[in-house]
Structure 1
Amino acid sequence: MTLPEPPGFVDVHAHFVTDSYVTRARAAGHDLPDGMPAWPTWSATAHLDLMDRCGIRTSLLSISSPGVHFGDDAAARRLAREVNEDGARVVRDHPGRFGLFASLPLPDVDGALTEIAHAFDTLGADGVVLETNTHGVYLGDRRLEPVFAELDRRGAVVFLHPTSPVCWERSALGRPRPMVEFVFDTARTVTDLLFAGTLDRHPDLKVIVPHCGGALPVLADRINGFMKLFTPSQDAGAPDAVAQLRRLYYDMAGPAFPRQIPALLGLVGPDRLLYGSDHCWTPAPGVEAHVASVNAAPAPGGGTWQSLTTANARRLLPRLAVPGRNP
């Protein structure tokens, strides 16, 4: 007998912080992370209360910007291991309610490969989270090829998360970087992956792009034209930029309606969309308002966004299709 799937959204864009992590980030100079007014607080209990109010069944936890690498490889390895162990403990303590996208100490490749093995083989992580750049090293950088090769070998889910570009002191104009800089850094790193051929070389990667794709939906054709112009050696049958973008997944975190989702659906099919709240960086009232806007919007095919995005998430993350099952 097949049990009915539990109701509720699967939130692929959810964050946690610990006191230890915030202390280390502040010591590295991140008192006001990415120009935001303060660090959020987080607890599993408060997060579960919010999930229950909003109809969220499962949240995939990750560490947000500024990530875990603050300039020292050894310290980054220790911090990645610490937050991953902390996140895995939350998953174990609340069966079926949380998952984990593990942090990697990039751009330290050896440390990242070690942590990939620990995250998947020991902790049972659901995937990894990669910041769009670390100290100016973007994800298409050839030095990161061994990391993507290993993630591709595992058929891993790779959740991208934006962070501040290295030029933010000038480009952000004194405004909070998540407002504009994050969406363009997302487009910048995905474009770098396209031009580097990383996505084409590693077709078993399952990449989630945040915030409705950032600026990618309106830039896709422009990127495609430049890619054909500057990579003329690719054979006629090779996937173009738009085709590769259509293979990725996109979460709905941020102001998805009324404009961003229609733009995104001009690029990808509805089977590539996932729900995301961006809690705890988005406060509870913002999450509640976001869920209300998603529930009120018509979904493709006449169903609901909850049923559509949850079905997509369970195809992407098969563990979630088994109620109560832990890694």
Structure 2
Amino acid sequence: MSRIDVHCHYIPDFYREALIANGHSEPDGVPFIPPWSEESALKAMDETGIAKQYLSISSPGVHFGDDAAARTLARQVNEEGARLARAHPDRFGFFASTPLPDVDAALEEIRYAYDELDANGVVFTTNFHGMYLGDEALEPVYAELNRRRAVLFLHPTSPTTNCGPDGGYPLPYPRSLMEFLFDTTRSVTHMVVSGVLDRHPDIKVIVAHAGAALPVMASRLDVLGRRATGKPQAVHDALRRLHFDLAGMPTPDALPALLRVADPSRIHYGSDAPFTPHPEILATAASLDAAEELEGALLDQVMSKNAQELFG
């Protein structure tokens, strides 16, 4: 049991029902909502050698257009995350969801999640109905997270751009195939360029999927960002400060690129269960175990020790 999983999801029955009721029976173009249960998650963890999972609600989150309903659903999923963590304290932790873009309600939910539910962190999607993560409206939320020295897990969601003339996605694929990576890159770049990380240095941000396209675009973003804004850019510096998970087929291509730009002590194992099928999770875990880039002590760091340090 050598892995700590920072990128994995829970799908309580009531949340599945809310997805379907709000038109998300095929979330982000994925053809179905995968099955999940407390018991099946523990069984899969044992088979994969995962000692502990930090659970989060995946895209599209909890806000489907109605502020009041989002507040209720955020509270429900957070109460369930806390129940799982209390029932299995050695196996589960959780990231709290928020009803963003409702900022006042998000602040209330963050305080409740930390003070009453002992949340291990907070999960954001990469945009909230078009509000990207460098938006000034989020400053009060970042200030509260910084005060708490919070872990903030960023999970991609569908962009509000790249739609066809009828308002739909123009390609016959799930948005997770490509757009999740592009939206992650877009939103983290917005955070860096807008100065969020500099103003709130005590937030520990985890970027999903080995940093998406950021490792291979860092030099371009630094140079062209300076040209566009007239100000020095520090994307490379930011990549050394950010944390990253290895969900989503990081070998053989993404892992070497990530290791060139990231701090190895800030890279973590992630399974993306249950949206990644279990056989693929097993195959990815085996490929990471065998990766020559992670030989020696670095493999233990990435699989568990970095997360132990991050979460104390």
Q: TM-score range by the shorter chain?
A: over 0.9
Deviates more, 1:158-167 or 1:223-232: 223-232
Task: Report the TM-score when normalising by structure 2.
Answer: 0.95
Cα distance per residue 1:224-257 (max 9 Å; x no partner)? 11232234356xxxx7221012100010001111
2:69 paired with 1:71: no
- Quick one: which of 229, 232, 237 aligns to 2:230? 232
- Cross-structure match for 1:193: 191
1:52, distance to aligned residue in structure 2 (A): 0.8
Quote the Cα distance in structure 2 between the aligned partners of 1:166 and 1:313. Answer: 32
User: What is residue 268 of structure 2 aligned with on the other side?
Assistant: 274
- Give how far 1:304 is off: 5.4
Contact 1:65–1:163 (8 Å) recurs in 2: yes
- Extract unaligned runs of 5+ from structure 2: none
Q: Percent identity?
A: 52
Aligned CA distance change for structure 1 residues 117 and 295 (closer, same or farther; 3 Å): same
Q: Secondary structure at the match of 2:85?
A: helix
Contact residue 60 and residue 101 of structure 1 kept, 8 A: yes
For the residue of structure 2 that corresponds to 1:258, the secondary structure is: coil
Question: TM-score, with normalisation over the residues of structure 1?
Answer: 0.91
1:122 and 2:120 aligned: no
Q: Is it true that 1:59 corresponds to 2:57 in the alignment?
A: no
Measure the CA separation in 2 of the matches of 1:104 and 1:172.
30
1:212–1:256: 8 Å Cα contact kept in structure 2? yes
Aligned twin of 1:214: 212
2:280 maps to which of 279, 286, 311: 286
Is the Cα–Cα contact under 8 Å of residues 2 and 303 in structure 2 kept in the other structure?
A: no
Structure 1, unpaired ranges of 5+: 1-6, 319-327
SS in 1 for 2:47: helix
Return closer, same or farther for 1:99/1:172 CA change in 2, 3 Å cut-off. Answer: farther
Residue number in structure 1 paired with 2:181: 183
Q: Secondary structure of the residue that 1:204 maps to in structure 2?
A: coil
Number of residue pairs the alignment of both structures matches: 308
Match of 1:173 in 2: 171
Q: Contact (CA 8 Å) 2:96, 2:122: kept in 1 or not?
A: yes
Q: Of residues 135, 139, 149 in structure 1, which corresponds to 2:133? A: 139
Q: How does 1:237-248 map to 2 (within 5 A)?
A: 240-248=234-242
Cα distance in 2 for residues equivalent to 1:56 and 1:276: 10
Q: Tell me by how many angstroms 1:119 deviates.
A: 0.6
The C-alpha deviation readout for 1:129-171, integer Å capped at 9, x for no partner, is: 0000111111111111110111011110000000000124336
Q: Provide the rounded CA distance (Å) in 1 between the counterparts of 2:127 and 2:263.
A: 27
- Matches of 1:145 and 1:160 in 2, distance apart? 16
Would you say the 8 A contact 2:241–2:263 is kept in 1?
no
- The question of whether the paired residues in 2 share the 8 Å contact of 1:156 and 1:205 is answered with yes
2:89 corresponds in structure 1 to 95
Deviation at 1:172, TM superposition (A): 5.2
